[in-house]
Copies of this chain bind each other. A is one copy, B any other.
């Protein structure tokens, strides 16, 4: 039982970008992506144009069109992806959900919570699309 989770769109972005990272030069069509990535077709379409608007991928219109990463896979960290997707999310540093903690000293949870949350941030910052597509590991789709 885990309580951490990103929102679906972010998870989908991981999958999509991870898939595109297999060959960063190639232009993948929606259908090619669809077969691997287990995302409802219409929603995938929407996400792809969203990712395009957000600048994470380039789109090529017209026949033989499709999508490809805007940057080299080693230059896109998971952290980049999350901040890009989760923009609406107010940065929530407080275990109790306070946005305005005026405590001078920290409460019993503060440091423990921060430790975990910073180790998550660390993980996201150190892992990039190249890392998660290394051939030592099986692909996640």
Mark out the residues of chain A between 112 and 141 whose CB falls within 8 Å of any chain B CB in the assembled complex.
112-113, 116-117, 119-121, 123-124, 127, 131-134, 136-141
A105 to B140, CA, bound (A): 10
What residues of B have a CB within 8 angstroms of the CB of A8 in the complex?
A: 97
Interface segment out of the listed A9-17, A27-35, A42-50, A54-62: A9-17
Establish whether residues B116 and A132, one from each chain, have CB atoms under 8 Å apart when the complex forms: no
A98 to B112, CA, bound (A): 28
Give the Cβ gap from A28 to chain B, nearest Cβ, in Å: 18
What residues of B have a CB within 8 angstroms of the CB of A2 in the complex?
A: 91-93, 117, 120-121
Task: Say yes or no: A103-B3 contact (C-beta < 8 A), given A95-B14, A120-B116, A127-B109.
Answer: no
Interface size class of A (residues with CB under 8 A): 35 or more
Q: Which of A3, A112, A113 has the most CB of B within 10 A?
A: A3
17 A-B pairs within 8 Å (CB atoms) are namely A2-B93, A2-B117, A4-B4, A4-B116, A5-B92, A6-B97, A12-B97, A14-B97, A15-B96, A15-B97, A96-B140, A103-B140, A107-B139, A108-B136, A113-B123, A116-B120, A116-B123
